[in-house]
Structure 1
Amino acid sequence: MLNIIARLFAFGLMAVLGATETTGLGFGEVDLIFPRNGTFEPTTLMPIVFGIQNPAAVNRTYPTLNYGLWSSDLPPSNRTHWTDLAVEKLPDSDSPVSFLLDGIANDLNTENEWDFVWRLRWTNCSKPADGTTFDNELGFVEEPDFAWRAYSLGKSIKFTTKSGGARVNLTSLTTADKCDDMQAFAFNVTETMKAPSGSLKGRKCAVLQTPTPAPFPCKASVAPSAASSISSTLTSRECTAPTPVISCPAKKGGAATNAMNSQMRWWAAGLALLLLSSSGQIYV
């Protein structure tokens, strides 16, 4: 059983005041890049990677994203540990595609079959006159000229870790012949409006197109340079753990401190010799 400690995360968003933006922010999407259906080589540090297309648009839906990962033979009643993606992992909202990352250390380095479940929650604001409909009401604020709804949907996959399976290669998994396998949620932000009340009061929230547009996960491709950056980021995070499960480079701060301590010891020894020499006494 994977013991993934749940952490409270959400996409942190700025409270931007102002009138309705009539141009909108356009198409945005959340894509599950990995894990993916298939058989993969057991890995000591397994990546969890989501692609965020047009983060500026997705952010206006005030989303939260979490996932669960369990051995397939674990009883459903024990599948209670969820992980929320952290605020500090928020993508840069100026980038056309950014990535939310997490790493599973020392759990998927054995042969097994796994269930991966992820859940996205988002909001939709509207004016009654614009014809927006709500088909999955989980919470709402409604006034004569404003309505706010919260939605939550989940998706799931199965994958296998087995010796001889494919190595995780984010670039090859997002090539033209494989990118359509990605699960995704898509949005089209036609405009934003300032919420007059509720938990979003004073913030601009998305008015979404209905019906929901079809996703285009192939736009969330991972270039080799991005794959290298993702690997480096996950390695760096794991190396901050008290007992990392991977080989980590020596800490520069520790090396510098050790060098300084060595120099201080030599300086102190030299000073002692100088003082003892001046008194005509040197003890060996």
Structure 2
Amino acid sequence: MPLALCLLPDWTVSSPFPPSHYVSSLEQPLRRICHSLHDIHNTTTTTTTSQLLLYLTPAAANMHIPSRATWSLVLSLISLGTVANAADSGTLEVDLLFPRNETYAPTEWIPFVFAFQNAKLAKYLAPTISYEGWNISAGANYSQGPGFSYSHNNLQWANWSSQDPYFVHHFHADLPEGIWRLDWEFWYFPCNEDWTDLTSVGDPILRNRTLHSITFTIKEGGQAVDLVAATADDKTCPKENAAAIKVTGKTRGVPPSEKMPDDTCVVVASPQPTPTPCQVKVDSVVAASMTASLRAQLCNSVNPPDDCPKDNAAQRLAVAGVACLAAAVGMFGFLA
């Protein structure tokens, strides 16, 4: 377990706790802990977190540390900036699956679908996807904003191990006929390898993005919107409309203020690999699941379609009743 915390002159390059330029400001308490870590190095070459705590606890007990805050700070410094091979490695790829550079018939709802290949590698990158659509044949006025837009900005909480590829989608309604330009960007947040501890200059997290753009057409006589058929045709998945990232598997602890999953980031490497978007297919089960999620969202809305199940209406009334009751209780509590 590498540790960039203490500077002990007799540690060698082969030590599992390499020296750092960091000089502690905790003075005597941290110095004693550092000597305990030095003892660990002299007795073992492989140290787990549990073993580390067993060594540190007696040292801390003899320090007469006045508050829990000091101990918490020491533990946070131990993990902060520490590099470890604690994650999977490989190539993470993000592909725009739909729409593509094709002509589609007008439809009430059109899906915009992305896929993550090797999705588990996205866990410590806190990715986001956002896009905008412009009707360029109608003379899109950029000062008035796009015709539609959306941001998948909650992906850091996704269960990346639940499926692979991991599909991300959103539906947009009633796009008018015309030639549309879709601009999309993929943001990801890897470790800054130049940042080692709280005394380092700069941020512990890098903010990287890739930009992509395609055009598609909405026109009478175009092909029907069919995710299964669209992704079965390997000829319509250009590599230019995908992003690939080489994830090393090396992770590092970061301050909680960075709001990263488990307060952890992962290191990425250059150059970026060549993407392979044609490998992703949407089968009928996945397509049906996307349609079902749209229907569930519509049926739980304020103005649901007429063909929604009656239990949805009852559920909405129950939710509204609970909200009214909560408001009334809050009002009476305030008056009391």
After TM superposition, the score normalised by the length of structure 1 is 0.69
Specify whether residues 178 and 171 from structure 1 end up closer, same or farther in structure 2 by C-alpha distance, changes over 3 A only.
Answer: farther
Which residue is 2:166 aligned to?
98
1:83 and 2:150 matched? yes
Which residue is 1:39 aligned to?
103
1:252 and 2:252 matched? no
Structure ranking higher on relative contact order (CA contacts 8 Å, 6+ apart): 1
Deviation of the 1:176 alpha carbon: 5.0
Aligned equivalents of 2:228, 2:115: Cα separation in 1? 12
Contact kept, 8 Å, 1:171 with 1:223, in 2: the verdict is: yes
Contact kept, 8 Å, 1:91 with 1:99, in 2: the verdict is: no
In structure 2, the gaps of 5 or more residues are 1-78, 318-336
Which residue is 2:183 aligned to?
117
Which residue is 1:148 aligned to?
205
Residue type at the aligned position of 2:120: A
In structure 1, the gaps of 5 or more residues are 1-16, 130-140, 259-284
Residue type at the aligned position of 2:164: P
Contact kept, 8 Å, 2:187 with 2:210, in 1: the verdict is: yes
Which residue is 2:244 aligned to?
186
Which residue is 1:56 aligned to?
120
Q: Percent identity?
A: 27
Aligned equivalents of 2:227, 2:245: Cα separation in 1? 24
> 1:133-144 residue pairs with structure 2 within 5 A?
143=200
Aligned equivalents of 2:99, 2:238: Cα separation in 1? 11
Aligned equivalents of 1:56, 1:29: Cα separation in 2? 11
Deviation of the 1:116 alpha carbon: 1.2
Deviation of the 1:252 alpha carbon: 2.1
Contact kept, 8 Å, 2:96 with 2:242, in 1: the verdict is: yes
* 3-state secondary structure, aligned to 2:94: strand
Specify whether residues 59 and 228 from structure 1 end up closer, same or farther in structure 2 by C-alpha distance, changes over 3 A only.
Answer: same
Deviation of the 1:247 alpha carbon: 5.7
Q: Give CA deviations for 1:238-259 in whole Å, capped at 9, x if unaligned.
A: 3333235x6642232547999x
Q: Give CA deviations for 1:169-202 in whole Å, capped at 9, x if unaligned.
A: 1112212523533621111211232234462576
Aligned equivalents of 2:134, 2:190: Cα separation in 1? 31
1:157 and 2:214 matched? yes
> 1:205-216 residue pairs with structure 2 within 5 A?
205-216=265-276
After TM superposition, the score normalised by the length of structure 2 is 0.59
The alignment yields a C-alpha RMSD, in angstroms, of 3.3
Aligned equivalents of 2:98, 2:307: Cα separation in 1? 24
Aligned equivalents of 1:22, 1:257: Cα separation in 2? 45
Deviation of the 1:224 alpha carbon: 1.6
Which residue is 2:230 aligned to?
173
Match of 2:284 among 224, 236, 239: 224
Specify whether residues 237 and 191 from structure 1 end up closer, same or farther in structure 2 by C-alpha distance, changes over 3 A only.
Answer: same
Deviation of the 1:45 alpha carbon: 0.9
Which residue is 1:277 aligned to?
none
